[in-house]
Amino acid sequence: MFVKFNLFTKILMCCLLISSFTARATELDIESESKALLNSGVSGFSIAILDHNGLILSKGYGYADVKNKIAMTDKTIQNIGSISKTITGAAAMQLVEQGKLDLDENINTYLPFSVLHPDFPNTPITARQLLTHTSAIVDRSAIYDGDLSYHYGGDNPIPLGNFLKDYFTPKEAIYSVDNFATYAPGTERKYSNIAYGLVALVVESISDMPFNDFTKKHIFTPLGMTSTGWMLSDIKQSDHAQLYKFEDEELKKIEWYGLVTWPDGGLRTSVTDLSKFIVTMINEGRHNEIHILEPKTVQSIFRPQFSQGSVLSKVKEIDSYKQAITWNVIKRKSGDTIIGHNGGDPGIRTYTYFDPQTSKGMVLFLNTASRDEVINKAVSTYIQSLLSIMNQKHISKLPIAKPLG
- Averaged pLDDT for residues 219-224: 97
CA distance 248 to 337: 38
Measured in degrees and rounded to the nearest 5, phi and psi for residue 361 equal -145, 175
Express each pLDDT in 90-144 by its tens digit.
Answer: 999 999 999 999 999 999 999 999 999 999 999 999 999 999 999 999 999 999 9
What's the pLDDT at 33? Answer: 79
pLDDT at residue 365 is higher than 90: yes
Confidence of residue 34 (pLDDT cuts 50, 70, 90): confident
Q: Is the dihedral of CA 25, 29, 30, 35 positive or negative?
A: negative
Domain-wise residue ranges, the chain = 7-391
Strand locations in 6-86, DSSP E?
44-51, 54-65, 70-71, 78-79
What's the pLDDT at 375? Answer: 86
What's the pLDDT at 398? Answer: 36
Query: 70-71 and 268-269 as β-strands: parallel, antiparallel, unpaired?
Result: unpaired
Least confident of 27-36, 242-251, 277-286: 27-36
What's the pLDDT at 20? Answer: 33
pLDDT at residue 83 is higher than 70: yes
Sorted by sequence, the CB contacts under 8 Å of residue 78 that are 6+ apart come out as 64, 240, 241, 243, 268, 269, 270, 348, 365, 367
Sorted by sequence, the CB contacts under 8 Å of residue 297 that are 6+ apart come out as 93, 94, 96, 97, 285
pLDDT at residue 239 is higher than 90: yes
CA distance 94 to 284: 13
Smallest Cα–Cα separation from 348: which of 202, 258, 242, 214?
242
What's the pLDDT at 294? Answer: 97
3-state secondary structure of 282: helix
Confidence of residue 50 (pLDDT cuts 50, 70, 90): very high
Task: State the DSSP H helix or E strand holding residue 281, giving kind and residue range, or none if neither.
Answer: helix 271-282
CA distance 334 to 320: 11
Running DSSP on this structure, what letter comes out for residue 241? P
Fold of 7-391: Beta-lactamase (3.40.710)
Smallest Cα–Cα separation from 230: which of 258, 206, 208?
258
- Averaged pLDDT for residues 152-171: 97
Amino acid found at 184: A
Confidence of residue 391 (pLDDT cuts 50, 70, 90): low
Express each pLDDT in 327-357 by its tens digit.
Answer: 999 987 667 889 999 999 999 999 999 999 9
CA distance 107 to 116: 10
pLDDT at residue 27 is higher than 80: no
Helix axes 84-97, 271-282, angle to 10 degrees: 40
On whether the CB atoms of residues 61 and 34 are closer than 8 A, the answer is: yes
What's the pLDDT at 397? Answer: 37
* Average pLDDT score, the chain: 89
Percent residues over pLDDT 90 in the chain:
74
What's the pLDDT at 29? Answer: 64
What's the pLDDT at 335? Answer: 73
On whether the CB atoms of residues 173 and 165 are closer than 8 A, the answer is: no
What's the pLDDT at 125? Answer: 98
